[in-house]
Chain A
Amino acid sequence: MKRIKSGIILAFLILTGTIQLSAQDKADTTAPATTVLRFTCTSTSDDSLQLQAVISVKHEEGSTNLANALVLFYSVEQTGDVKIGGAKTDVHGIAVLKIASRNKYERNDQQMLSLKAMYDGNAKFEASESEFGLKPAKLKVSFYEEDSVRYVKVEGTQLNADGTETPITEGTVIVGVPKMLSILKIAEITLDSTGIGTAEFPKDIIGDSLGNLTVVAYIEENDIFGNIKASADNNWGLHKHLISPDRPSRELWTPIAPLWMIITLIIMLLGVWGHYVYAVVQLVLISKSAKANEKER
């Protein structure tokens, strides 16, 4: 009887931990999941347009990116949609297609291209699409020095349908330096009537070990030009040192350990090994006494 009782209690204990097992998986829904397609276009400094579509799938808990999905890009024209090309999304759900800024696709009265990205969907995921309009343009970043002051210069140009170029006369360009997580903004430049703007280059930006920096200039979500991006390199950054010479030399990240750590370790090791040696000495004495006893006998 005792065994039965104790068995029941133990079984209860184990069950408490496993009772939730069956409740974990929810039944799969058969309806296709909703997808969201975000479409953006960026004019880059190499006279090309980067068409980028990001597809995500909506869940109750949030959304995840959809990989390996084919996205088709179209030019929306008066006679109908003209296919530009297609690209598959990567593991981040991003599909990218690059085309020339000066291209054959039809523009509207404001010389803007109307582009569309489409995902056809399948049994599991719904179809989705998104449109984006922009006039191709480009930015050029350069640097110069005047009276020992360093400047960054940005030049904005519109690319017209007839092949001519006109300056971007209005708009604000952000200038920054890419860091580990985001772009560190260093200046905000308003372009003048010639499409040119300048700003003083800061002296305290940390570059690599040789002071090399990549400087990016960009206009984002402009009503006419969409996104424009350009970059250039200089060596105006501060040289990065892993160990600053004016810091104390016994810190955790320096080659020499902190003194307190070395002292603590030595005390502990001496204490422990001292006792070990004592125990071994006793064993040696036991052995010697055994030999002495044997001789006596």
Chain B
Amino acid sequence: MSETVSSDKLLREFAPQIEHTGKYGKLWIGFLIVVICYGWFALYWQVSRGHIVTGMRDNVVWGVYIVNFIFFMGISYAGALISGTLHLFHAEWRKPIIRMAEFITIISLLIGPCFIMLCVGRLDRLPNLILFGRIQSPITWDVIAISTDIIGCILFLYLALLRDLGKMRDFKELKVPQWQKKMYKILALGYTGTPEQQLMLKKATDVMAGMVIAIAIIVYSVLAWIFSVTLQPGWHSTIFGPYFVIAAVYSGTGVLIVSMYFFRKVYHLENHITLQHFVNVGVIMLVLGAFFGYFTFSEYLTKWYGSEKNDEQLIQVLLKNYFNLFILSNYVGVLAPLIVVGFKKLRTINNITIAAGIVVIALWLNRYLIVVPTLETPYLPIQDDREAWLHYSATWVEWALTAAGVAMFCLLFTIGSKLIPIVQVSDLKEDPEQPGDIHLM
């Protein structure tokens, strides 16, 4: 068995991204810290004054926080599924982008659950979830599943990093602080790439690649069941599990493409991440988009055709009060990648990235349309007809914390790329060949 050995030349190419942070890089980090501080202020505002400062009320008890939670968890599972699947299928072209997918998984897994905490009015009662948790409760399933998933994904990322950590430890020319070198040494576990170590690492990575796929499907299904086991109109659906899984991978693919675009530009990875990579991930996005469109159509068609009173009411609300968002989420969000990736002439890096951006926004809106309109159309009449009780509208506090979550995602991604090369150096060849193509008619 021979491992692809990256030369010092290749490490030298990636060293500057770790050694230096330029003027714009510092500005970017500063900007993200400002947004996060604004979020902390909003959090203080919310904790000191209570949830009355949010748009959530007795009827619409969930708002953009839960939407952000579902969204971040979704993109995390996408990262796990993409990296796990591509690893198991030995897709060679995955190598320059696989680390980004893994970073997306870990970072969003750390941020997502924070949003569910923001929904809790009495955070001091949070330990009760563990102390008095009932296995029958989908919330308990979610707590167990997410914590299991976080540990699994961190383990998978660590296994994937091990060879690079060894390379970084042994690369003497790297000009980084002493603590960073020590960190590489400790985390590398003395890995030198002997055939025996390679075999052990391969076994562990293969097992974990399979596990993260399975766990990702289970965890996101559990998240879907939080909604679908209730009898609420719009939520009580047998296809919610697979629908959520597909939507998650779809949005995650979008985030991956956007990340590829920015890191390619910022770290000048044009030689390693080529148009073909964008097309390949774009094709995955296209297929997922088709599945997502199919699930969405199936979900709404059956509700509309059944004409059950409350479902009908919900569809009325969606098509009347949320018409623009509905179209953007369920039509534009599906058609954009189908058109851009489907027509060969339109397949440029910019177009695919724009389509991916549209997908990300559309899928966030999709989650919003799943959560809010249903809560605005309950079975029992709302016992108060004040506007704030009837209709949810997010406040500045919720938007500030949402922005802080996104900023934290970007900051952790940036910090991650400053500690470890954003592409898997140990897998790359010195002179990259054109990656394999995913053929599309």
A272, A286, A287, A290, most chain B CB atoms within 10 A: A286
Shortest distance from the beta carbon of A22 to any chain B beta carbon, whole Å? 10
Partner of A13, one of B214, B336, B350: B336
What would 16 A/B residue contacts be, using CB atoms closer than 8 Å?
Answer: A3-B348, A5-B346, A6-B351, A9-B346, A10-B358, A18-B324, A24-B323, A91-B386, A253-B136, A258-B136, A269-B144, A273-B148, A276-B211, A283-B189, A290-B190, A294-B190
A257 at interface, CB cutoff 8 A: yes
Q: A14-B358, A64-B385, A289-B200 are in contact. Are A279 and B135 (CB under 8 A)?
A: no
Q: A9-B339, A10-B354, A65-B385 are in contact. Are A279 and B215 (CB under 8 A)?
A: no
B204, B210, B385, most chain A CB atoms within 10 A: B204
Partner of B191, one of A253, A258, A286: A286
Q: How far is the CA of A16 from the CA of B211 in the complex (A)?
A: 41
What does the 1/0 interface line of A128-159 toward B look like (CB < 8 Å)? Answer: 00000000000000000000000000000000
Partner of A272, one of B158, B204, B211, B355: B211
B192 at interface, CB cutoff 8 A: yes
Chain B residues touching A, range: 35 or more
The answer to whether B192 and A2 touch across the interface, beta carbons within 8 angstroms, is no
Shortest distance from the beta carbon of A8 to any chain B beta carbon, whole Å? 11
Q: How far is the CA of A257 from the CA of B336 in the complex (A)?
A: 46
B289 at interface, CB cutoff 8 A: no
Which residues of B, 326-380, contact A by the 8 Å Cβ criterion? 327-328, 331-332, 335-336, 339-340, 345-346, 348, 350-351, 354-355, 358
Shortest distance from the beta carbon of A2 to any chain B beta carbon, whole Å? 6
A265 at interface, CB cutoff 8 A: yes
Q: How far is the CA of A10 from the CA of B331 in the complex (A)?
A: 13
Chain A residues, Cβ within 8 Å of B210: 275
Q: A262-B135, A286-B201 are in contact. Are A6 and B323 (CB under 8 A)?
A: no
B151 at interface, CB cutoff 8 A: yes
Partner of A290, one of B136, B197, B215, B354: B197
Partner of B328, one of A18, A265, A294: A18
Shortest distance from the beta carbon of A79 to any chain B beta carbon, whole Å? 40
Number of A-B contacts defined by CB within 8 Å? 123
Partner of B332, one of A13, A276, A280: A13
B122 at interface, CB cutoff 8 A: no
Question: Which A residue sits closest to B365, measured CB to CB?
Answer: A17
Shortest distance from the beta carbon of B80 to any chain A beta carbon, whole Å? 13
Partner of A14, one of B211, B332, B348: B332
What does the 1/0 interface line of A258-297 toward B look like (CB < 8 Å)? Answer: 1001100100110011011011101101110111011000
Q: A9-B339, A285-B200, A290-B190 are in contact. Are A2 and B207 (CB under 8 A)?
A: no
Chain A residues, Cβ within 8 Å of B354: 10
B208 at interface, CB cutoff 8 A: yes
Q: How far is the CA of A287 from the CA of B85 in the complex (A)?
A: 27
Chain A residues, Cβ within 8 Å of B336: 10, 13
Question: Which A residue sits closest to B345, measured CB to CB?
Answer: A2
Q: How far is the CA of A142 from the CA of B159 in the complex (A)?
A: 79
The answer to whether B218 and A268 touch across the interface, beta carbons within 8 angstroms, is yes
Question: Which A residue sits closest to B355, measured CB to CB?
Answer: A10
Q: Which residues of B contact A (CB under 8 A)?
A: 134-136, 144, 148, 151-152, 155, 158-159, 162, 189-192, 194, 196-197, 200-201, 203-204, 207-208, 210-211, 214-215, 218, 323-324, 327-328, 331-332, 335-336, 339-340, 345-346, 348, 350-351, 354-355, 358, 384-386
The answer to whether B192 and A279 touch across the interface, beta carbons within 8 angstroms, is no
The answer to whether B148 and A287 touch across the interface, beta carbons within 8 angstroms, is no
Question: Which B residue sits closest to A261, measured CB to CB?
Answer: B135
Shortest distance from the beta carbon of B321 to any chain A beta carbon, whole Å? 9
Partner of B194, one of A65, A291, A293: A293
The answer to whether A17 and B148 touch across the interface, beta carbons within 8 angstroms, is no
Partner of A6, one of B135, B194, B348: B348
A21 at interface, CB cutoff 8 A: yes
The answer to whether A10 and B351 touch across the interface, beta carbons within 8 angstroms, is yes
A122 at interface, CB cutoff 8 A: no
Chain A residues, Cβ within 8 Å of B355: 10
The answer to whether A16 and B207 touch across the interface, beta carbons within 8 angstroms, is no
Which residues of A, 194-224, contact B by the 8 Å Cβ criterion? none
Shortest distance from the beta carbon of B355 to any chain A beta carbon, whole Å? 7
The answer to whether B339 and A13 touch across the interface, beta carbons within 8 angstroms, is yes
The answer to whether B346 and A17 touch across the interface, beta carbons within 8 angstroms, is no
Question: Which A residue sits closest to B151, measured CB to CB?
Answer: A276
Chain B residues, Cβ within 8 Å of A293: 190, 192, 194
Q: How far is the CA of A272 from the CA of B147 in the complex (A)?
A: 12
Question: Which B residue sits closest to A23, measured CB to CB?
Answer: B323
The answer to whether B328 and A17 touch across the interface, beta carbons within 8 angstroms, is yes
Shortest distance from the beta carbon of B130 to any chain A beta carbon, whole Å? 15
Question: Which A residue sits closest to B332, measured CB to CB?
Answer: A17
Which residues of A, 1-33, contact B by the 8 Å Cβ criterion? 2-3, 5-6, 9-10, 13-14, 16-18, 20-21, 24
Partner of A16, one of B204, B327, B384: B327
